[in-house]
Amino acid sequence: MGDGTTNQGAEDPKYIRDVLAKEIAYKRERRDQIFSWASSLLVAMTGGTIAVTYTKQQQLPVYQRQILTVAALVLCIDVCFWMYHHRQDEMRARRKIERCNTLLSIPKYEKKKKAVDLGHTIAIILLTLAAICAVWVNPI
């Protein structure tokens, strides 16, 4: 540009790499927040169901059990989708960082292959199953 200003980051691999690293941190934090929110709801659903059925000494009516089951399943599917979405965005950003590292002559970090990060997803699925069991299994 003729006025002496520069377009910071338009083609600077170091700047792009820093932005991508921040994006990865944001996606990971967001995934943790989604997990925390969903697990709290599922634990509350489980505990609330157990508390209500234990004090009444009877099961919830079928229509209420059906509503709670559908709610738990919809929550589980939605949360798993959003965690997958954030995980895919993070992987795309990692691939872009690798390209920036090549341009910056940063040696490639070879790490051991490990299973895909599914810990949060598995935990949400198990909490959903626990909530559904609490809804349908008679504690008496």
pLDDT tens column, 47-71: 999 998 888 888 889 999 999 999 9
* Burial degree of 45 (CB within 10 A; 0-12, 13-18, 19+): buried
* Burial degree of 137 (CB within 10 A; 0-12, 13-18, 19+): exposed
| Helix (H/G/I), strand (E/B), else coil: 40 | helix
Mean pLDDT, range 12-21, rounded to an integer: 86
81 part of a folded domain: yes
| pLDDT-above-70 percentage for the chain | 85
70 part of a folded domain: yes
Cα four-point dihedral sign 9, 14, 15, 21? positive
DSSP state, residue 57: T
Q: pLDDT category, 4, cuts 50, 70, 90? A: very low
116 part of a folded domain: no
- The confidence score (pLDDT) of residue 113 equals 52
33 part of a folded domain: yes
**Higher per-residue pLDDT: 56 or 42:** 42
Q: pLDDT category, 8, cuts 50, 70, 90? A: low
61 part of a folded domain: yes
132 part of a folded domain: no
Determine contact, residues 88/43, Cβ cutoff 8 Å: no
- The confidence score (pLDDT) of residue 14 equals 84
Count of domains in the chain? 1
- The confidence score (pLDDT) of residue 55 equals 82
138 part of a folded domain: no
**pTM of the predicted model as reported, rounded to 2 decimal places:** 0.78
Maximum distance among all Cα pairs of the chain, rounded to whole angstroms: 81
Number of helices (H) and strands (E), helices first, in the chain?
Answer: 3, 0
Print the domain residue range for 48.
13-107
Q: How far is CA 82 from the centre of its chain?
A: 6
117 part of a folded domain: no
Tokens 């820093």 correspond to: 18
Q: Which phi and psi (to 5°) does residue 86 adopt? A: -65, -35
Alpha-carbon gap, residue 45 to 75, rounded angstroms: 11
